[in-house]
Structure 1
């Protein structure tokens, strides 16, 4: 239904054990640790008194009650019964077009408390024993500016969790419930053992790193520090985030589930792609989170800009891990960003809410250049095709290209960023959320930083300007704006770049300033 699911693929579907343990991770990796928090809360609320039944479907979008990334992500889960007992859960998380709140699209760049970000749904039943709770659904839809899209996406998620439950029941019928639960336990234990063995191959010791977000979107002059100390000892990796800044007024605060996603993603990326995350790996990792910090916020702190924080935190964690395992080092990468356009007048038969996720570029790493113009870290989101945008929304894309010279110079060059230019054909409210403008992606081991992110509004007029931070902008038909993602940092001394690689970059137009790579110019 909504383009954010249909085109950008901002969703996940999973199978969990009876305690909510994830068995196999989804491509949308940052959803992976969330399910344990969501199912755990369901079991706390409904499990002890036997109020979980066959045919139930639960829903939540609450970052504090259900562990969700932000209010716009809605989770559904249904239990799987065999021989009268719960043996598993099937779950799904997906971004919603609008869940209410202060701005259209709900994901405010400047929210100062979570109540401004939309309707909050703690874990509750939306289907009770195969009976849909229509009153619950009506409350949700009544709070949305896009009820038709919401209804379609909600019903799709309910259907997919039921399908997952049906498939698990088939496995129980074929192999027996006991065999299924034993297989789940073996998969979880196997992942824990593999991660412990991989950690044990690292040198014991400690390493730290820190980095800064441009701002929290409210106090635009104040950067926000993210810091980690990594300790490796006895096959256990400990990640301490206590030195990160206090929780912010703006919506850049994280819940523990997101910090977990960043830690496991970075650790697996460092140790080797043959490792596959599941919740068994929690046995080999310890997290230290200080209360009321940006990495462990408490209500009513706003959270809607969590993803750009995730991506900066991944950079910081990878930088610390690089000091322990240089062979897998990578420079800082660009950042995913979001664009929301609430149209005053929609195309006939189409939604008035346009929501896009923008990719950027990876940093260069030991032995390889960074990938250009792609989703970075934690997710596998797709950029919405121009043809879809122009056919469904009153906009025109007048430019879409890779940005020359944006990749950070290095022995291994950072990936190049991309930019898009939009022309509005109707009046609209535009919300742009991004990071890594004030603090561009850093290079590593002598590499140079990548180009920073930009958002330039009212192109070609006397009012043309680059915005200073994420924000909300009222625009008129005929206005044009340009958005540019951040590029990847370079790795290693640029003067050591292979001559053939530099010549290829110049022939392809990726590099037009060879002076950055002296003495080869």
Structure 2
């Protein structure tokens, strides 16, 4: 490793850089472990909803540890606001607290941020920023997270960057403000102190690293890591086909739909994600902020693009994110933001990742083509917070992170994962509390917890199953909950012809044996003694036409009771009865494809003739899974059917089956006009155009060969 000289120092060599990176990563993980070992709430100690992020003196991300990747990105914003607010007064021994998404906070008010500047020889060289979900930050309900809130002032105590410690001296007035405004002050205070402890552990170890290579060597080395990460990110972006890629989804509020459109433009080694067209901010708790959108939009697509590289500021540098002010992706007070990291923000990162998947699918040079997957299922959530009164009359409660255990989408080469929403990810695993621990800590009994079964997410590679669970009060008169569900009526779409995923279901079972379905977004739901609540989580969609699924895989699903024999025949065309009847299965599948074509509406712009002269003589270039570009023609890979001529949309050449899902929503399946194979399926509002548009520049600019 190069040593610091009197005049200057040489850059670290490759070995020295890797040693520095590994040490920084170890420091972040040790800081994270300190949080888990010091906190007392189960949301941190059991579910691991926390993080430890290391940043340079300017707030640029170096590395991070812990389970919640989206935390890492928002810490950049937090440090920048703290620097702007406190400037030259920041000193060694200071520790700051912030939780206001509008002013230096993180993902939402409950994900508090504790920030500690790190000094070496009087010079600010780094920051440690720890985030953890605290169980209550005041507001109108226990847990500070309710669909009932209509402005941010109802939701919680919100603090801009303020000092918990100044030059090492505890600021008791701020701690008292915090304790006074929350329902379980002892628990909240201890969890916040665990974040401080994690800062101390990580900060001290950063000082040790700087002592070995000097303060300037530390600064230069971390800058080298940033530039390396940026270079690699740009290299992988440059493998993607230049062009414009669009996907659209909608955030739900009952029967209201709020459009979340994303347009990705790739130009050389840079990407721009544009959310122009998002509707004005609402009086619902899902409004979000640009720093939250950016954190997800960079973290989630980079799970595929740079899956083998720790998240670093250099990976943010080639990416621009446009969030128009005054909209649900860039709100201002008094818009409520208790769910600023979920409904809209996760839909935004999901559409962004889907755009990147469109680009990967159209890019034969991309080295991550093997990681293609359908729309990621982190919006397949049904989190709940529950409160009760202890025997001594005090409030207490917990968060059910089991509600984050949806099912992953199917991918290019495998089924989706059960009870976990990311198929392709560098993320550590955030966990749900064990059933035994839940029952030991809180007054509930769990009737069952298992994988949800059903026909959802059908495909050549099916989606995984989400959590299916039922529990009841035990040892208390009642529990009162806030239901924080996403995907109420609108499922996640499949990919490459796969079917849509499941939606959220919540059922209250009454003591008299009757049952009542509850909206997945509900406030102050009371479950009394003798009653129980059951939920089934959403999932991602399938990949590929279900009729292309291996019949033996379908038979295995039947044996595992994921499907009935009747469902296997209806959805997959597989005849199961003591074994797979291959001849009958082949016949059934052929008949289903013909029935599809007979039932479909004609293509919007059918291609009646063959490909343009010479097109089929050209080497195929992928355009979408199962669709290839040959010159100026878009062709179905398996059948050779011509769907469109450049620059038209290939979907316009497909016959389409449209069926009603619920009022206002339809499922559309785009078919190969030659074979009846499903090429793409989507669930969209009945008046919406196609939700997926892939326009690589080589397609929109295609010309007749000379």
Do they superpose with TM above 0.5? yes
Q: State which of 271, 292, 309 in structure 1 corresponds to 2:344.
A: 309
| Aligned-partner SS, 1:466 | strand
Contact 2:247 2:262 in 1 (8 A): yes
Contact 1:440 1:449 in 2 (8 A): yes
- Name the CA distance, whole Å, in 2 between partners of 1:493 and 1:388: 42
Q: Aligned ranges for residues 448-463 of structure 1 at < 5 Å?
A: 448-459=499-510, 461=512
Find out whether 1:447 has 2:493 as its counterpart. no
- Name the CA distance, whole Å, in 1 between partners of 2:512 and 2:214: 69
Aligned to 2:4: none
- Name the CA distance, whole Å, in 1 between partners of 2:194 and 2:324: 38
* Structure 1 stretch displaced more, 261-270 or 230-239: 261-270
Q: 1:275 to 1:407 in 2, by over 3 A?
A: farther
| Aligned-partner SS, 1:223 | strand
Could you tell me how far 1:190 is from its partner in structure 2?
0.8
Could you tell me how far 1:65 is from its partner in structure 2?
0.4
- Name the CA distance, whole Å, in 2 between partners of 1:303 and 1:386: 31
Q: State which of 492, 504, 520 in structure 1 corresponds to 2:544.
A: 492
Q: Aligned ranges for residues 286-325 of structure 1 at < 5 Å?
A: 286-305=320-339, 306-325=341-360
Name which one, 1 or 2, has greater alpha-carbon Rg.
Answer: 2
Find out whether 1:137 has 2:175 as its counterpart. yes
Aligned to 1:224: 258
Aligned to 2:573: 519
| Aligned-partner SS, 2:250 | strand
Contact 2:98 2:114 in 1 (8 A): yes
Aligned to 1:399: 448
| Aligned-partner SS, 2:248 | strand
- Name the CA distance, whole Å, in 1 between partners of 2:412 and 2:511: 42
Find out whether 1:384 has 2:428 as its counterpart. no
Q: 1:310 to 1:372 in 2, by over 3 A?
A: farther
* Structure 1 stretch displaced more, 335-344 or 117-126: 335-344
* Structure 1 stretch displaced more, 401-410 or 51-60: 401-410
Contact 1:457 1:481 in 2 (8 A): yes
Aligned to 2:187: 149
Could you tell me how far 1:76 is from its partner in structure 2?
0.6
Find out whether 1:98 has 2:133 as its counterpart. no
Aligned to 2:225: 187
Could you tell me how far 1:407 is from its partner in structure 2?
4.1
Q: 1:221 to 1:463 in 2, by over 3 A?
A: farther
- Name the CA distance, whole Å, in 2 between partners of 1:478 and 1:514: 37
- Name the CA distance, whole Å, in 1 between partners of 2:123 and 2:226: 20
Could you tell me how far 1:344 is from its partner in structure 2?
2.5
Could you tell me how far 1:462 is from its partner in structure 2?
6.8
Could you tell me how far 1:375 is from its partner in structure 2?
4.7
| Aligned-partner SS, 1:214 | strand
- Name the CA distance, whole Å, in 2 between partners of 1:453 and 1:343: 25
- Name the CA distance, whole Å, in 2 between partners of 1:200 and 1:431: 45
Could you tell me how far 1:214 is from its partner in structure 2?
2.2
Could you tell me how far 1:54 is from its partner in structure 2?
1.1
Q: 1:158 to 1:105 in 2, by over 3 A?
A: same
Cα deviation code 1:226-276 (max 9, x no counterpart) = 110000002110000011222121101111122112211232133241233
* Structure 1 stretch displaced more, 301-310 or 285-294: 301-310
- Name the CA distance, whole Å, in 1 between partners of 2:195 and 2:486: 31
* Structure 1 stretch displaced more, 96-105 or 26-35: 26-35
Could you tell me how far 1:172 is from its partner in structure 2?
1.6
- Name the CA distance, whole Å, in 2 between partners of 1:308 and 1:381: 19
* Structure 1 stretch displaced more, 481-490 or 401-410: 401-410
Contact 2:511 2:530 in 1 (8 A): no
| Aligned-partner SS, 1:367 | coil
Find out whether 1:242 has 2:282 as its counterpart. no
Aligned to 2:307: 273
Aligned to 1:372: 418
Contact 1:360 1:372 in 2 (8 A): yes
Structure 2 gaps, min length 5? 1-39, 362-368, 576-706
| Aligned-partner SS, 1:41 | helix
- Name the CA distance, whole Å, in 2 between partners of 1:265 and 1:116: 31
Aligned to 2:53: 14
Q: 1:156 to 1:351 in 2, by over 3 A?
A: farther
* Structure 1 stretch displaced more, 326-335 or 470-479: 326-335
By relative contact order (CA 8 Å, sep 6+), the higher-ranking structure is 1
Contact 2:549 2:572 in 1 (8 A): no
- Name the CA distance, whole Å, in 2 between partners of 1:94 and 1:2: 10
Q: Structure 1 length as normaliser, TM-score? A: 0.95
Q: 1:279 to 1:272 in 2, by over 3 A?
A: closer
* Structure 1 stretch displaced more, 19-28 or 488-497: 19-28
Aligned to 1:502: 554
Aligned to 1:65: 103
Could you tell me how far 1:183 is from its partner in structure 2?
1.0
Structure 1 gaps, min length 5? none
Find out whether 1:116 has 2:151 as its counterpart. no
- Name the CA distance, whole Å, in 2 between partners of 1:460 and 1:445: 45
Q: 1:379 to 1:315 in 2, by over 3 A?
A: farther
Contact 2:498 2:544 in 1 (8 A): yes
Residues matched between the structures, number: 514
Aligned to 1:476: 528
Could you tell me how far 1:380 is from its partner in structure 2?
3.2
Could you tell me how far 1:349 is from its partner in structure 2?
12
Find out whether 1:435 has 2:486 as its counterpart. yes
Contact 2:105 2:112 in 1 (8 A): no
Aligned to 2:75: 35
| Aligned-partner SS, 1:25 | strand
Could you tell me how far 1:96 is from its partner in structure 2?
0.7
| Aligned-partner SS, 2:144 | coil
- Name the CA distance, whole Å, in 2 between partners of 1:285 and 1:100: 36
- Name the CA distance, whole Å, in 1 between partners of 2:453 and 2:76: 43
Could you tell me how far 1:316 is from its partner in structure 2?
1.7
Q: 1:379 to 1:253 in 2, by over 3 A?
A: farther
- Name the CA distance, whole Å, in 1 between partners of 2:270 and 2:118: 33
Q: 1:95 to 1:64 in 2, by over 3 A?
A: same
Aligned-residue CA RMSD in angstroms?
1.9
| Aligned-partner SS, 1:318 | helix
Q: Structure 2 length as normaliser, TM-score? A: 0.70
Q: State which of 338, 343, 354 in structure 1 corresponds to 2:388.
A: 343
* Structure 1 stretch displaced more, 383-392 or 256-265: 256-265
